[in-house]
A and B are shown apart, each in its own frame.
Chain A
Amino acid sequence: MSAAIIFGLWFALLFTGMPISISLGLTVLTYFFTLSSVPMESVALKLFTGIEKFEIMAIPFFILAGNFLTHGGVARRMIDFATSLVGHLHGGLALGGVVACALFAAVSGSSPATVVAIGAIVLPAMLRQGYPRTFGAGVISTSGALGILIPPSIVMVMYAVSTNTSVGRLFVAGVVPGLLLATMLGVVTWYLAWRNDYPRLPRASLADIVRSFRASFWGLMLIVVVIGGIYSGVFTPTEAAAMSAVYAFVVAVYVYGDLTLAQVPKVLLASANMSAMLLYIITNAVLFSFLLTFENIPQTMAEWFVHHDMAPWVFLLGINLILLVAGCVMEPSSIVLIMAPLMFPILLRLGIDPIHFGILMTVNMEIGMVTPPVGLNLYVASGISGLGLSELSRAVLPWLLTMLVFLGLVTYLPQISLWLPRTLGMM
């Protein structure tokens, strides 16, 4: 009953178009003021302690690092390196774009940023070579989604803090699925290019490959700093994020020189703007899940599932459908922050591994980013390509279907996510 009131009120507020964070907060306040006798003090305390965790601070650091990296230099060198590897195949430039997206995803924690950084360079080049605009926009907006699956990932940090799972383990668990998805997207791209006979680039000589690798070396080193640093225990995930921000700053300003010192305040301000927005959603989502827990809603749901002898595979199918629909209308961080704590007790009762579930949620969020009407990657790609949203939604179809197949694999083969962290002895 209380669940119906809470969610009814929230949806009513949400669909007026007010900020998601405000709709969450107002729901909590309205409920507590009118329908319950919780002392307001404990609500106020949640307001302060909601984001008082060092793990959460990885988010602003990763955003800052990402913003330093999006400045042309790093992305352009990664694209050169990627095309020197795969450019001679059918659809070489498009394949280079997929590989570059995967590389950039390994230094950036955000999908739209990956689409912009890689797409803004690859897409115009593809058009010049005579690729159809829909093909180019389709491949870039879907490959850019790798940004949140291949670590580091802001969405994974959100999942980790709202379920108290380890950020490091999640990051490592994302590596194999990320590489698998990149391969699958690459194969589809190659097949489409081969059938339509899209242009190939001349094969790069070994010397070219070495030269482009050395040019992109400083950017690629960041992968070692983040993943190597976290895995070896040299840094905690938050420290790794701060180190990568400083490193990205040094590379962008001093090594590649693509960013002048005078532009740095603007980057800082833009990063602060984005992080504050996300931290504000976190604060209010913490309030919201405090309300849900206070009303015992997650526990009641878990009981219901166990009572009805729900097989885990049915539950996973249902949760995938819910997440896909939610992904169509809301942006990822809010979905993760609300759904993850709600689902967590059910996972424990059904014996589903939280790390596996985290990867599953991340893949769902990736798909949500390329499905209309609210798909951040589509907005970004539409800005770069000049295609409308409806044209783009058709353009991404071949890759979107691939991602759905991939989601099926990740859902029912937990080993894909759990093999690497287990092999490395992290769990």
Chain B
Amino acid sequence: MFLRVLDRLEEWIIASLVAAATLIIFAAVVHRHASTVPFLQNYALRLNMAWAQELCIYMFIWMAKFGAAYGVRTGIHVGVDLVLTRLRAPWHGRVVLFGLLAGALFTAVIASLGAHFVWRIAGTGQVSADMELPMWIVYLAVPCGSSLMCFRFLQVALAFVRTGHLPSHDQAQVEGVDLPGPQEAGR
């Protein structure tokens, strides 16, 4: 139950961040060009959209950190499997597991480094240039996203030990096009 809520929340957060960032930059560009049109100038100049660029960057940083965790679940992080595919039964599984645990280790180290860093930044009271947002909130994306990613690596490793299956992102499937199957294409 908790896991399903977490899954949905993760998907919901990253999809909305992408949509929001796109709309913000769109609005900022429209606003900038509206300010040069005499008729609209008066209205446009009352709004200040200097913060748009900064907000967009921060939204994408959050999207990237949580999206990376989502990517572990969907198996989109590709590696070089040249050697791996040539390995036989016991070693193949061991190497795959090593890779997953290495991922968990790396993200765990990053999470703790990041947490330490955020703690220090919070102490300095540093704020962002345009929005004057406390920087520790922005940087919180790293420890949060990285811990989630670590959790996902462990989850995938556990599932692999139990079932022998890995999530794999079908590279031949590009979102939005329903490919005709090989048989259909052959007609």
Interface of B is mostly: helix
Given the interface contacts A25-B110, A386-B186, does A113 sit within 8 Å of B17 by beta carbon? no
Hey, which chain A residues are within 8 Å of B66, CB to CB? Answer: 276
CB distance from B123 to the nearest CB of A (A): 13
Interface flags for B128-142 (1: CB within 8 Å of A; 0: not) read 000000000001001
CB distance from A80 to the nearest CB of B (A): 17
Nearest 3 CB-CB pairings of A with B: A276-B67, A386-B182, A383-B172
Using A235-B29, A276-B71 as known contacts, say yes or no to A43 and B99 having CB atoms under 8 A apart.
Answer: no
Interface residue count on the A side (C-beta < 8 Å): 84
CA distance A40 to B120 in the complex (A): 13
Chain B residues in contact with chain A, CB under 8 A?
Answer: 11, 14-19, 21-23, 25-26, 28-29, 33, 53, 56-57, 60-61, 63-68, 70-71, 74, 76-84, 95-96, 98-100, 102-103, 105-106, 109-110, 113-114, 116-117, 120, 139, 142, 170-177, 179-187
Q: Is the interface of A mostly helix, strand, loop or mixed?
A: helix
Q: Is the CB of A19 within 8 A of B77?
A: yes
Contact call A379/B171, Cβ cutoff below 8 A: yes
Residue with the highest number of chain A CB atoms closer than 10 Å, among B25, B70, B142: B25
Contact B79 A19 (CB under 8 A): yes
With A54-B57, A380-B171 given, name 10 new contacts (CB 8 A).
A15-B80, A16-B99, A22-B99, A70-B174, A242-B21, A242-B25, A276-B63, A329-B82, A330-B80, A374-B80
User: Is A272 an interface position by the 8 A CB rule?
Assistant: yes
A134 interface residue per 8 A CB criterion: no
Cα A44 to Cα B120 in complex, Å, equals: 11
- A267 and B113 in contact, given A19-B77, A235-B29, A330-B80 (Cβ under 8 angstroms): no
Q: Which residues of A contact B96 (CB under 8 A)?
A: 17
Report the bound CA distance from A90 to B60 in whole Å.
Answer: 48
A273→B76 contact, CB < 8 A: yes
Question: Is A18 part of the contact surface with B, judged by Cβ < 8 Å?
Answer: yes
Known: A17-B84, A124-B185. A267 touches B176 (CB 8 A): yes
Task: Give chain A interface residues in 106-149, CB to chain B under 8 Å.
Answer: 112-113, 116-117, 120, 123-124, 127-128, 133
Given A242-B29, A273-B70: A120 touches B177 (CB 8 Å cut-off): yes
B114 A384 Cβ-Cβ under 8 A? no
Whether the pair A128, B187 counts as a contact (CB closer than 8 A) is yes
Q: A17-B96, A47-B110 are in contact. Are A279 and B29 (CB under 8 A)?
A: no
**In this assembly, does A406 line the interface, its C-beta being within 8 Å of a C-beta of chain B?**
no
